[in-house]
Amino acid sequence: MKKTVPPEIASNLAALRHKRGFSAAGLAKTVGISRQTIYAMEAGSYVPNTAVALRLARTLEVSVEELFALPGESAAPELPSRQAVLLPGSDPPQPGQPVQLCRVDKVLIATSPSPVPWYLPASDAIVTGEPVAGRRTKVRAYYPDAEFRNRVLVAGCDPGISVLARHVLLAGVELVPALRNSSQALLLLKQGRVHIAGTHLRDEVTGESNIPEIARLFPKKAVAVFSFAVWEEGILTAWGNPKGIRGIEDLGRKDVSIVNREPGAGSRFLLDSHLQRLKIDARSVSGYRRLAPGHLPAAWQVRTGAADCCIATRAAARLFGLGFIPLVSERYDLAIRRRHLDLPAIQVVLDTLNRASFRRELESIGGYDTRAAGQQML
């Protein structure tokens, strides 16, 4: 009987390669080795030399220890745990909520970033003319000679766009986010008012995300569609779920109030489809006509107790320390006019979607699957 020879190293290369969106041939070409060598390393039967290991780690934006380990050791070590002092003066964060770290003298301090921007927003000008949406009006710019060309205007409702904005800024490109629901974002793209429209409109007949609606609105081959991430949407409740909400059917209870999204929002479509399937009259849902313009504003109302629940993403629930009851996983896409694909700033955005550092941060927020990020869907 032939003796089985254990692998010389434990390898996490295959999992990380797939997670970062690389094919074996693509990674091999980038690193300067053969595709067969990639497969051998993934099987643990080939031990790379130091130069190859470092090139792999740099390309996948991980440490060498995250790629390879000795047999019996974990090939994908967890992020290191550290002791930190929670900054007093506000409610302590719940497990899973994000914090920022700063060392003050010899003490590592953890502080919860505000999910609501209590600061003066960035601006370039002030409106001086009669403001009519969609019409030309006068503005007085702070920087008269600025052309504002190295910017990308993105309409959408995914809070994760702020993560993308931080990463593209490292390449000198500034994303200008405009909070709009999916239907509004696609309409603005059709009108030529934005560079990118973010959307999560699920077709109830096919179950496919976004492509059917985009095909209905735009001429064939007018728009390219790239995956941003797959996220989870569900019911957000107060921490501990004090009302005992189990599903959409509980939203018809008299002791449960919601905050809804405006017509045209993907979350509104999701709620309405569930209510229709369960034969629940929307008029019987307390708060159905109370609207919030986005996932985070809706979650904030639940956080403050203004409503018992809302429909939003798992990431919004984690940010505010709320309970989450999953309803659906769906793809959030970025739609771009094909004539804009060659713009250098757009190329930076598309390149960033494939970067491991961006994907890692977005995944850490919770509820995002970035394996298809940057993949062209249309």
Domain that holds residue 293: 148-378
Domain membership flag for residue 128? no
Residue 252 and residue 294 in one domain = yes
Q: What is the CATH number of the domain that holds 213?
A: 3.40.190.290
Residue 184 and residue 234 in one domain = yes
Total structural domains in the chain? 3
Half-sphere exposure of 267 (CA within 13 A, CB side): 34
Q: How confident is the model at residue 2 (pLDDT cuts 50, 70, 90)?
A: very low
Residue 313 and residue 335 in one domain = yes
Domain membership flag for residue 375? yes
Residue 98 and residue 210 in one domain = no
Residue 104 and residue 189 in one domain = no
Residue 207 and residue 103 in one domain = no
Residue 274 and residue 325 in one domain = yes
226, containing H or E segment: strand 223-237
pLDDT for res 196: 95
Residue 223 and residue 359 in one domain = yes
* 253 Cβ contact list (under 8 Å, min separation 6): 243
Nearest to 238 by CA among 170, 310, 186, 131: 310
Nearest to 155 by CA among 182, 192, 174, 135: 182
Largest Cα–Cα separation, the chain = 87
In angstroms, the CA 112 to CA 98 distance is: 7
What global pTM score does this model have? 0.76
Among 32-36, 197-201, 366-370, the least confident range: 366-370
Residue 95 and residue 203 in one domain = no
pLDDT for res 274: 95
Residue 353 and residue 282 in one domain = yes
Q: How confident is the model at residue 4 (pLDDT cuts 50, 70, 90)?
A: very low
Terminal Cα distance for the chain, rounded: 52
Domain membership flag for residue 75? no
Domain membership flag for residue 5? no
Q: What is the CATH number of the domain that holds 18?
A: 1.10.260.40
If you count them, how many residues does the chain have?
378
Q: What is the pLDDT of residues 214-227, one digit of tens each?
A: 999 999 999 999 99
Average pLDDT over residues 51-76: 80
Residue 93 and residue 213 in one domain = no
Among 6-15, 155-164, 253-262, 318-327, the least confident range: 6-15
Domain membership flag for residue 243? yes
- pLDDT cut 90: percent of the chain above it: 55
pLDDT for res 56: 92
Among 41-50, 240-249, 298-307, 331-340, the least confident range: 41-50
Domain membership flag for residue 29? yes
Domain membership flag for residue 34? yes
Q: Across all residues in the chain, what is the average pLDDT?
A: 87
